[in-house]
Amino acid sequence: MGPAPSVTRLTAPEIAAHLGVPLLRGRQILAWVARGARGFEEMTDLPAALREALPAKLRLLSSEISEIRESPDSTRKLLVRLEDGELVECVLIPAETRLTLCISSQVGCPARCAFCASGMLGFTRSLLAHEIFEEFLHAAHVAGGAGEITNLVLMGMGEPLLNYDEVVAAVRRLPLGKRRITLSTVGLPDRIRRLAREGLPLNLAVSLHAPDDETRNRLVPVNRKYGIDEVVAAARDYFRETGRDVTFEYILIEGENAGPEHARRLAGLLRGGNLNVNLIPMNPVEGLPFRPPTPENVEAFRRRLEAAGIPVHVRTPRGREIDAACGQLRLRRMKTSRPPPSGGQQPVAEGPPRA
């Protein structure tokens, strides 16, 4: 017999059947998990006898926090150990009135963009919906409650649209509230159009990074399959169908895509339609030759887009010191073996405060 199944991967009827209790109990247990319970003893509306029997039959979560690192700018990176020992990262980024959580959708990444650390170690596997959901639960615990997280971005390791079904299922399980959720993709046109029909409250970010096929083929190899016009057309369709925010991410890399001519072509490509541009000075990645332009050149690029009427924003890099900035997420630690089972209880993580 394997370890007890985790609550997060079951539905309410499955929990009830597994325990041989009424459906209501399954619903209560799931609601507690969504509210951030870290132990069955917290589930005070369950009969005491059931509460005590639970740890032998179920685990709350399938994953655990293995490490938390904090950067001087208060960005926190959580390393989460999955059931099979694989590790993924998620990042909590505070800013003024916001707290943004950036979560991963895959272990490694198959997209292999030229400037990104995530693909450098290859691709191991996609996450399951409950594992993505658990990243949120862990981060909410560390943040002091789910309500603290105001923005959620699927912008960590992996290409979410190459793990379509599990990502969509995970988003459906997230307690939404007023939270803004953005999915960032390398730009897969057919999947963007399919996503537009899911009826999810998802903003879209497309990692464009170039104004023409020649440049984009080099930086984002996936582009060779679709071409940049198709990618931009799909993003326009997403906006037309959902009315949600569509943003193009554009990393500025010195000598590659950051010249005046690139800015002019980008403005031409995005003219018309409510399309925003997020300029991101490239975060240096150890072992890669790419560098960001000078702040003056970043500013000049921004001004050129603005002058052409394109809504543009420059994103400040955060968490660089702990390799938590965009494109720096990459596992530096070797896999460690699963800890021994501790009576079916979710092991207490090394780092986080007890809420």
Closest to ligand SAH by CB, 65 vs 109, is 109
33-41, 90-98, 278-286, 342-350 -> range binding ligand SAH (CB under 6 A): 278-286
Q: For residues 186 and 263, what is the distance between their CA atoms, to the nearest angstrom?
A: 20
Instruction: Pick the binder of ligand SAH from 43, 258, 285, 298 (CB under 6 A).
Output: 285
Choose one: 41-49, 110-118, 168-176, 297-305; the region binding ligand SAH (CB under 6 A). Answer: 110-118
| 57, 344 contact by CB (below 8 A) | yes
Residue 252 is a binding residue for ligand SAH (CB under 6 A): no
- In terms of phi and psi (left: phi > 0; alpha: psi -120 to 50; beta: otherwise), the region of 10 is beta
CB of 283 to ligand SAH, least distance (A): 4
Is 115 an interacting residue with respect to ligand SAH (CB under 6 A)? yes
* Total residues in contact with ligand SAH, by rule CB under 6 A: 18
Q: Does 231 bind ligand SAH (CB under 6 A)?
A: no
Burial of residue 309, with CB atoms counted within 10 A of its CB: 0-12 exposed, 13-18 middle, 19 or more buried: exposed
Q: Name the residue type at position 284.
A: P
- Hey, CA dihedral for 324, 101, 216, 300, is it positive or negative? negative
Q: Based on the number of CB atoms within 10 Å of its own CB, is 230 exposed (0-12), middle (13-18) or buried (19 or more)?
A: middle
Cβ proximity to ligand SAH: between 30 and 128 the closer is: 128
**Nearest-CA neighbor of 113 among 330, 347, 331?**
330
Question: Residue 326, interface with ligand SAH (CB under 6 A)?
Answer: yes
Alpha helix positions (H), 206-294: 213-219, 223-226, 228-242, 260-270
Q: Is 103 in the site for ligand SAH (CB under 6 A)?
A: no
Instruction: Reply yes or no on whether 90 is catalytic.
Output: no
8 A C-beta contact, residue 352 and residue 92: no
- Does 277 engage in binding with ligand SAH (CB under 6 A)? no
Q: Does residue 326 carry a catalytic annotation?
A: yes
Least distance in angstroms from the C-beta of 310 to ligand SAH:
17
CA atoms within 13 A on the CB side of 117: 19
Q: Given 83, 89, 131, 256, which residue is catalytic? A: 89
In this complex, which beta carbon is closest to ligand SAH, that of residue 60 or of residue 220?
220
Q: Contact residues for ligand SAH (CB under 6 A)?
A: 111, 113, 115-116, 155, 159, 184-186, 207, 249, 251, 280, 282-283, 285, 326-327
